[in-house]
Structure 1
Amino acid sequence: MFKINNIRFNEQGLVPAIVQDTQTKDVLMLAYMNEESINQTLETGFATFFSRSRQAIWKKGETSGHFQSVKSISYDCDQDSILLQVEQVGVACHTGTWSCFTEGVNLDPSLKIQPVKNESLLIDLYETINERKNNPIEGSYTTYLFNKGIDKILKKIGEESSEVIIAAKNEGTEELIYEISDLVYHAIVLMVEKGVALTEIKNTLVNRKEKIKS
């Protein structure tokens, strides 16, 4: 049974906390927790840590909206480190990537082991668009959309939806595939603008799938 009194905090009253995504099993980040942040995590169900640089408690996602819903919390056999298994909303890293662990070296190429990377193209696309929102680049079309704001993004959603309909009425699928890709891209721009995570869409689709089965 998990008991805070069993945890072996260091001299600063901190314990390292490894964060893992429950679905992909990716290791997302490493942070530190103290007794207060652990209590807040247990009470709220959202990952809360202690910032060593700011010397303050911080709730993951409180500024970015990329919260971590904690599904389980445990400590290791030595009781001096913690594992949080979470459902990640958005991305885990402040740089805009899915995981903080993106750089690595493969020591045995025959095993085809690569550094942690995204599970799908959609996640990679979401991260790229989110990065562009947080770090605008002059001349970027995505930056242009974010600068213009929600009305411009919604206008593009409407235009691309109409083009999908027109393409579907024509012969063949090449044009349709192109237009659907445009619509998906602009839909993800809208999601980032409104703070909607891919996991939220995925969970809704999973529920819809279950309804179809029933």
Structure 2
Amino acid sequence: MIDNIKFDDKGLITAVVQDANTKEVLTVAYMNKESLEKTIASGETWFYSRSREELWHKGATSGNTQKVVSIKADCDKDALVVEVLPAGPACHTGTTSCFTEVIQENAKVGSVSIISQLADIIKKRELEMPEGAYTTYLFDKGIDKICKKVGEEATEVVIGAKNRDAEEVKWEAADLIYHLLVLLQEQKVSVFDVLNVLEKRHEEK
């Protein structure tokens, strides 16, 4: 694979680092042949610093390592996408992604990344059980209450669909997804494991 990679005249290639679960772009860095080899061998990201002119292992000092899931080259083999499972923030500022500054946004659209964010919040709620939070109330009442809410919200989605009310379907589906995420957390089933099942089913078709 490495022999087919087209490094530039400085021996570098652009590496776009992406969260393997959420598909969010975390950062853009550079690799040379040695850092790419180290990344493949170690299973964690290594990059080449153009300013320091040296290799650097992501998370070596901060602990915010990135476990490599896959490395893909583009059609011209002069750029890489590195899918990772991050152990912490990707950016030195402490943010999940380096891409936080909005230059232009013509329209706000929903993103599947909210699923992972919501799952993280629900997990934190179960751990900390803050007083007054609705999620705390659900965990406090237990599995029967959570299952009841999932059933109720599923029924509301069906009613909205039967009424041909797209607005109602949209809001009730959001409620259903939230309560389903609560149920998954109560059962200690990762939403990403569920998504993996969907991917496997898609591959089999």
Instruction: Establish whether TM, by shorter chain, passes 0.5.
Output: yes
Percent identical pairs in the alignment equals: 42
- Secondary structure of the 2:3 match is helix
- Counterpart in the other structure of 1:92: 90
List runs of 5+ in structure 1 lacking aligned partners.
125-160, 168-172, 181-201
Mapped partners of 1:117, 1:57: distance in 2 = 34
- Counterpart in the other structure of 2:77: 79
**What pairs with 1:17-166 in structure 2 (closer than 5 Å)?**
17-109=15-107, 112=109, 119-120=116-117
Alpha-carbon shift at residue 7 of structure 1 (Å): 1.0
* Counterpart amino acid of residue 95 in structure 2: T
Conserved? CA contact 1:106–1:113, under 8 Å: no
Mapped partners of 2:62, 2:29: distance in 1 = 17
Conserved? CA contact 1:98–1:118, under 8 Å: no
Q: Is structure 2 residue 3 aligned with structure 1 residue 5? A: yes
**What pairs with 1:154-193 in structure 2 (closer than 5 Å)?**
174=132
Taking a change above 3 Å as real, the CA distance of residues 118 and 51 of structure 1, as seen in their structure-2 partners, is: farther
Conserved? CA contact 1:99–1:117, under 8 Å: no
* Counterpart amino acid of residue 91 in structure 1: P
Deviations 1:42-84 (A, max 9, x none): 1010011111111111111001100000010111001110110
Mapped partners of 1:27, 1:175: distance in 2 = 31
Taking a change above 3 Å as real, the CA distance of residues 37 and 46 of structure 1, as seen in their structure-2 partners, is: same
The normalised TM-score by structure 1 is 0.54
RMSD, aligned CA: 3.5
- Secondary structure of the 1:36 match is helix
List runs of 5+ in structure 2 lacking aligned partners.
122-127, 140-184, 194-205
- Secondary structure of the 1:120 match is helix
- Secondary structure of the 2:77 match is coil
The normalised TM-score by structure 2 is 0.56
Taking a change above 3 Å as real, the CA distance of residues 174 and 112 of structure 1, as seen in their structure-2 partners, is: closer
Mapped partners of 2:115, 2:95: distance in 1 = 9
* Counterpart amino acid of residue 79 in structure 1: K
Conserved? CA contact 1:33–1:50, under 8 Å: yes
Deviations 1:132-187 (A, max 9, x none): xxxxxxxxxxxxxxxxxxxxxxxxxxxxx9xx8xx9xxxxx749959x9xxxxxxx
Alpha-carbon shift at residue 113 of structure 1 (Å): 6.5
Mapped partners of 1:76, 1:96: distance in 2 = 29
Mapped partners of 2:2, 2:133: distance in 1 = 59
Taking a change above 3 Å as real, the CA distance of residues 175 and 121 of structure 1, as seen in their structure-2 partners, is: closer
* Counterpart amino acid of residue 90 in structure 1: G
